[in-house]
């Protein structure tokens, strides 16, 4: 059961506008903005993408690059007068899988963390369950992990949005 901070989950496909929408929600709080980026730069294209995102956000954000230890980072940042935006949960799930961590157990820890926050938190994630069944085992496991995590977070979230073509659809809240 959630006790205080407002929790928002924003889902959508790739390039759907979910990050821009989430950043707008964070700005509207008027609080100090903290951005937890879960992406890892495995190649030059990803390094450029991360640099472009950092530049696009500007100096108004404090950026924390946290590919795996997400729950601990969120707990350490919780407090009044700040909003935390995590982008994105599916990259976090990928990182956990690549490190052969127990994704479901990490998800339980994350949910417990979310339930006790005082700061508003916005979680961004890719909805990956709308397409065909993936052809390989790892991709199917990834889709399943992400889907289960989304359901658990949506159950405790105050607000849930689905974004497509830059248009947010409020699903809960």
Active site residues: 53
- At CA 142, angle to CA 141 and CA 143, rounded to 5? 90
Tell which residue, 97, 158, 169, has the closest CA to residue 123: 158
Residue 157 is encoded by which pair of tokens?
């979230």
Residue 60 C-beta-side C-alpha neighbours within 13 Å: 11
**Dist CA 107 CA 47 (whole Å):** 27
Which pair of structure tokens corresponds to residue 134? 């993936």
Residues 93 and 103: beta-carbon distance below 8 Å:
yes
């Amino acid at each position: 059961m959630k006790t205080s901070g407002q929790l928002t989950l924003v889902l959508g496909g790739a390039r759907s506008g979910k990050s821009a929408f989430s950043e707008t929600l964070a700005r509207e709080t008027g609080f100090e903005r903290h951005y937890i980026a879960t992406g890892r730069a495995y190649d030059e294209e990803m390094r450029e993408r991360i640099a472009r995102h950092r530049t696009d956000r500007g100096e108004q954000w404090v950026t924390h690059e946290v590919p795996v230890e997400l729950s601990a980072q969120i707990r350490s940042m919780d407090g009044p007068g700040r909003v935390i935006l995590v982008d994105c949960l599916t990259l976090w799930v990928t990182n956990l899988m690549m490190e052969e961590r127990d994704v479901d157990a990490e998800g339980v820890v994350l949910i417990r963390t979310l339930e006790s926050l005082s700061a508003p938190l916005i979680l961004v994630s890719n909805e990956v369950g709308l397409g065909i069944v993936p052809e390989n085992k790892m991709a199917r496991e990834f889709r399943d992990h992400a889907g289960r995590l989304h359901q658990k977070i949506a159950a405790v979230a105050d607000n849930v949005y689905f974004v497509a073509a830059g248009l947010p659809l409020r699903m809960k809240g």
